[in-house]
Structure 1
Amino acid sequence: MDSNSVGQIPLHQTSSRKRLDHKRDTICILGTGDFGRSLGIRLLKSGHPVVFGSRDPKNSALLPSGAQVFSHAEALKTSKIIFLAVHRENYDFIPALSNLLDGKVLVDVSNNFKMNQYPESNAQYLSQLVPKANVVKGFNTVSAWALQSGSLDASSQVFVCGDDNISKQLVMDVARSIGLSPLDQGSLLAATELENYPLQLFPMWRLPFIIMAGLTVFLFMYYVVLKVIYSYVIYNTDKTYQMVISIPNHVFPCVSLILLGLVYLPGVIAAFLQLYRGTKYKRFPDWLDKWMLCRKQLGLASFAYGFLHVFYSLVKPLRYIFYWKQVQYAASQVKKNTTSEIEMVWVWRGDLFYALGILGFFVFCLLGITSLPSVSNAMNWREFRFVQSKLGHVTLLLCTAHTAVLGWNKFLRPTAFKWGLPPGYMLAMVIPCIVLVLKLILITPCVDRMITRIRQGWERKRRDLDYSA
């Protein structure tokens, strides 16, 4: 006998054992609808043997090739992990299979048609029907389309909850094997929250939408008063046509500038609050926490309004009223037999106005691009913070200067205040100017050093701080 082979497993047996160790678990799917088929396709591509349980095993034309189809009872005998891909209304066949589910992992992927539709979650109800099965809630936040097409970038997270940790780990391993990122949400009590999650309509956009809708409506009506109603009352002139292009092109930049200011205002408020308290170990007020959590949405909304302003500005020279005014002005010059002298102040004002707008929008585009997950994930924290904070304040400065040049010296003219009301762009500059002034204070060396020390853990009066607030 070869001495090298003593006590060793032959090479071909070692390879066979390695192949067996890497063999994927067989997955059973009860339900042959869209989600069940899509999940089956994804599992097959990842190397999992898939068995479908159907009430009509002969009708399997739509099921993916490579999968086996049996009756519910026969399918349950093939796997220890079962995905239940049916609606709660169709759980009536489950109690009859209770003995076959003893000790097995039963994954509930169902969702409801409205939030809190039932007194208990679907997963909790299922655990009552089969008390000896290990029910796990998961995969309900992933769409059938994303599973089948492989477009999992936008929905790669899978929330999992259950009372048995080993069962949860098995389900999470399956999720990882098909390219998903599982997150443990605790016990089965969290199933209600998980089932309500897919039914929420842009939950992080609710407050930003209310803010931008309120600002849009207010400023639109404000400009209607200044430009349409005022002209009709004072000069008996019909300028209702401005409600289509001209007024929106005033409203969009104003809302964009205000929203951009609201993105950076909570940051400076938080900094001054830390300076006042002398510590970073005390919670911010709830309203400030909620405000800071929706800064990305406010920034994206501001960027969208800025885009609208750019396109509306490009359309303005194409309008009939623009050509008409140009012709009338030229005709008046001909009648008077005069020509207007060029005014260098207005030349500088116009060029500076457009230059600041172009530069501001260019940096704004950089902010928008870096907010994309594919771009932000490729940046380290310092790079992301530099773009979103430093360049963000530069964007706010350029856009505010762009608006200020538009007004030039009109704030000194009483005629600019129709019925005593300031022009809309003056209102839009209030919050950005406040942010810029406060930020200027924060970046002064003495204040910046104090803020840095506090954020590194230094505290002014540690004994007197109330950490429960």
Structure 2
Amino acid sequence: MADVSNMVPLKDISAKCDRVCIFGTGDFGRSLGYRFLQAGYNVVYGSRGQSNYGLLPKGSEVLGHAEAAEKCDIIILAIHREQYGFLSSLSHILERKVLVDVSNNLKMNQYPESNAQYLAQLLPKAIVVKAFNTVSAWALQSGTLDASRQVFVCGDDAESKERVMDIARRLGLTPLDQGYLLAATELENYPLQLFPLWRLPFYIAVGLTAFIFFYSVLTDVIYRYVTEHVDISFRIAVSLANRVFPVVSLILLGSVYLPGVIAAYLQLHRKTKYRRFPSWLDRWMLCRKQLGLVALGFAFLHVFYTLIIPNRYYVQNKRNNFILSKIKNNETFQFDTTVAWRHDMYMSLGILGFGLYVLLGITSLPSVSNAVNWREFRFVQSKLGFVTLMLCTGHVLLYGWNKFLYSSRYNWYLPPAYMLSLVIPCTVLVLKFFLMTPCIDRKLTKIRQGWEGNVKHKPSQRYKDSSLV
């Protein structure tokens, strides 16, 4: 029989594993304590005073820092870097303890090293793991973790990282291993970033909107005032806005698919897929989703503005004057079948294009994209995406019809704003048409499957390569 005289009781082991110590009784420390208690952990707070004991979750134990640290193997440090100084006096107690650093800074790269690395230097005999810094106190306490369920974890000790990740899973979170403690700098900068992938689309959208708006004011409002002394500035609020939004939306939609087409032609030119794209193209491709969603927002504005057009005073007045003039002159309005066809097709393409536009936006949501496989997602975002671009481009072409033939439409020799919106989409569709031809499509598919046209292997080199397989 085995000698059980020196064995630790299973009850004590279980209690130690299910007990967590938290240094810090602020908002995050209290919220994390609530979450631990709900998950079945025994929570011990290490505190320096008794000022806010009444705010701590019921069922938790409050002790001094030294006493609390002695009771637990895992200690959550919910304190700021400036307060790490007192931990030096507890170095003998914290030896081989797992210290989970959850701190963040006020600005990016505030210190030469990350808080977690500084803590590891301060307590070299402790095991430091960075985690939970991307989860908010409000989300922990309210339970609404849909937007912040992921927990990034990094550390130099694999076993300790796994223990922290197990705790995160038990709390209902999704841990992601980010590697060694060197990654802590990136993790601490992450919560301080404000929509990093949205900045470029936002700047592009604002710049385009401002340009198209002032361009339309110049060619419509200012031109009429200078040449005819007619003040139509009231049209800025609705008419010009409803011209700017669809123009910007179509340009942005074309910009979503233009980098993919450029990348395809680069691969065809290089005859390989193993060379990096230029940095500007990489950055452009990474923000295509955000560009598309911004474009969808402008399309929604166009739809809403279009719906209120019949209720405008200007439109009603113009319609009434037209009807009265016909009655006064005893004239009838001749029905034109060609105009009717053009108008109905124009409206139909707009409705179909907007419907697919919305479908693209819905499938880009994480909750929806996670429910489809990669082939289904690619079909919607790529195949249907180009169909959407084609429908929206056709919508604008039917709106313009043959107006581009009349010099009177070119105020100050400048083309109307809607013509500017056709440049990028038409370019994308023409380039895509050539990529879809069988001979080019076969070659591109071959390259994307790994074929390289510029690589010539020597027989000896091929033999060496095959020996490594």
- Separation in 1, partners of 2:236, 2:455: 58
1:428 matches 2:437:
no
Residue correspondence of structure 1 range 59-74 to structure 2 within 5 A = 59-74=52-67
Contact 1:249 1:313 in 2 (8 A): yes
1:404 to 397, 401, 410: 397
Contact 2:25 2:52 in 1 (8 A): no
In the TM superposition, residue 161 of structure 1 has moved relative to its aligned partner by 2.1
In structure 2, what residue type is equivalent to 1:363?
L
Specify the SS of the correspondent of 2:133.
Answer: coil
Contact 1:363 1:391 in 2 (8 A): yes
- Separation in 2, partners of 1:458, 1:115: 43
- Separation in 2, partners of 1:286, 1:86: 39
Specify the SS of the correspondent of 1:379.
Answer: coil
Task: Give the structure 1 partner of residue 5 of structure 2.
Answer: none
In structure 2, what residue type is equivalent to 1:163?
D
Residue correspondence of structure 1 range 174-185 to structure 2 within 5 A = 174-185=167-178
- Separation in 2, partners of 1:74, 1:368: 54
Task: Give the structure 2 partner of residue 286 of structure 1.
Answer: 279
- Separation in 2, partners of 1:22, 1:362: 58
Task: Give the structure 2 partner of residue 215 of structure 1.
Answer: 208
In the TM superposition, residue 24 of structure 1 has moved relative to its aligned partner by 5.1
Unaligned 5+ residue runs, structure 2? 2-8, 458-469
1:455 to 420, 431, 448: 448
In the TM superposition, residue 100 of structure 1 has moved relative to its aligned partner by 1.5
TM-score (norm. length: structure 1): 0.92
Which deviations, in whole Å up to 9, do the C-alpha atoms of 1:189-221 show, x marking residues without a partner? 322222111111111111111111111110001
Query: In the superposition, relative to structure 1, how do residues 63 and 157 fare at CA in structure 2: closer, same or farther (>3 Å)?
Result: same
1:274 matches 2:267:
yes
In the TM superposition, residue 58 of structure 1 has moved relative to its aligned partner by 7.3
Query: In the superposition, relative to structure 1, how do residues 215 and 58 fare at CA in structure 2: closer, same or farther (>3 Å)?
Result: closer
How many residues align? The count is: 451
Specify the SS of the correspondent of 2:161.
Answer: helix
- Separation in 2, partners of 1:283, 1:21: 52
Task: Give the structure 1 partner of residue 463 of structure 2.
Answer: none
1:143 matches 2:121:
no
In the TM superposition, residue 371 of structure 1 has moved relative to its aligned partner by 0.7
Which deviations, in whole Å up to 9, do the C-alpha atoms of 1:242-276 show, x marking residues without a partner? 22111111111011101100111111111111111
Specify the SS of the correspondent of 1:159.
Answer: strand
Task: Give the structure 1 partner of residue 231 of structure 2.
Answer: 238
- Separation in 1, partners of 2:366, 2:125: 42
- Separation in 2, partners of 1:238, 1:22: 81
Query: In the superposition, relative to structure 1, how do residues 20 and 187 fare at CA in structure 2: closer, same or farther (>3 Å)?
Result: closer
Query: In the superposition, relative to structure 1, how do residues 18 and 131 fare at CA in structure 2: closer, same or farther (>3 Å)?
Result: closer
1:444 matches 2:402:
no
- Separation in 1, partners of 2:363, 2:21: 42
Task: Give the structure 1 partner of residue 114 of structure 2.
Answer: 121
- Separation in 2, partners of 1:126, 1:243: 59
Moved more, 177-186 or 346-355: 177-186
- Separation in 2, partners of 1:226, 1:422: 9
Query: In the superposition, relative to structure 1, how do residues 57 and 408 fare at CA in structure 2: closer, same or farther (>3 Å)?
Result: same
1:194 matches 2:207:
no
Task: Give the structure 2 partner of residue 306 of structure 1.
Answer: 299
Unaligned 5+ residue runs, structure 1? 1-7, 9-15, 465-469
In structure 1, what residue type is equivalent to 2:373?
N
- Separation in 2, partners of 1:116, 1:20: 41
Which deviations, in whole Å up to 9, do the C-alpha atoms of 1:274-323 show, x marking residues without a partner? 11111212211111111111110001011111011111111222211111
1:378 to 368, 371, 379: 371
- Separation in 1, partners of 2:114, 2:401: 61
In structure 2, what residue type is equivalent to 1:297?
Q
Which deviations, in whole Å up to 9, do the C-alpha atoms of 1:138-189 show, x marking residues without a partner? 2111111222222222222222222323222222221222122222223323
Task: Give the structure 2 partner of residue 343 of structure 1.
Answer: 336
- Separation in 2, partners of 1:134, 1:79: 13
RMSD of aligned residue pairs (Cα, Å): 2.1
1:29 matches 2:22:
yes
In structure 2, what residue type is equivalent to 1:237?
V
Task: Give the structure 1 partner of residue 4 of structure 2.
Answer: none
1:226 matches 2:219:
yes
Query: In the superposition, relative to structure 1, how do residues 456 and 293 fare at CA in structure 2: closer, same or farther (>3 Å)?
Result: same
Query: In the superposition, relative to structure 1, how do residues 60 and 21 fare at CA in structure 2: closer, same or farther (>3 Å)?
Result: closer
Query: In the superposition, relative to structure 1, how do residues 111 and 104 fare at CA in structure 2: closer, same or farther (>3 Å)?
Result: same
In structure 2, what residue type is equivalent to 1:217?
A
Which deviations, in whole Å up to 9, do the C-alpha atoms of 1:77-97 show, x marking residues without a partner? 111111111122333332222
1:206 matches 2:190:
no
In structure 1, what residue type is equivalent to 2:278?
P
In structure 2, what residue type is equivalent to 1:159?
F
In structure 2, what residue type is equivalent to 1:331?
L
In the TM superposition, residue 334 of structure 1 has moved relative to its aligned partner by 2.5
Query: In the superposition, relative to structure 1, how do residues 265 and 96 fare at CA in structure 2: closer, same or farther (>3 Å)?
Result: same
Contact 2:134 2:151 in 1 (8 A): yes
1:390 to 379, 383, 405: 383
- Separation in 1, partners of 2:13, 2:142: 29
Contact 2:116 2:181 in 1 (8 A): yes
Residue correspondence of structure 1 range 42-53 to structure 2 within 5 A = 42-53=35-46
- Separation in 2, partners of 1:348, 1:23: 78
Task: Give the structure 2 partner of residue 13 of structure 1.
Answer: none
Query: In the superposition, relative to structure 1, how do residues 24 and 379 fare at CA in structure 2: closer, same or farther (>3 Å)?
Result: farther
Moved more, 21-30 or 378-387: 21-30
Specify the SS of the correspondent of 2:413.
Answer: coil
1:297 to 290, 293, 296: 290
- Separation in 2, partners of 1:100, 1:172: 24
Contact 1:110 1:122 in 2 (8 A): yes
- Separation in 1, partners of 2:437, 2:134: 47
Specify the SS of the correspondent of 2:153.
Answer: strand
- Separation in 2, partners of 1:460, 1:131: 53
Specify the SS of the correspondent of 1:101.
Answer: coil
Contact 1:136 1:160 in 2 (8 A): yes
Contact 1:57 1:71 in 2 (8 A): no
Question: Taking every aligned residue pair, what percent have the same amino acid on both sides?
Answer: 63
TM-score (norm. length: structure 2): 0.92
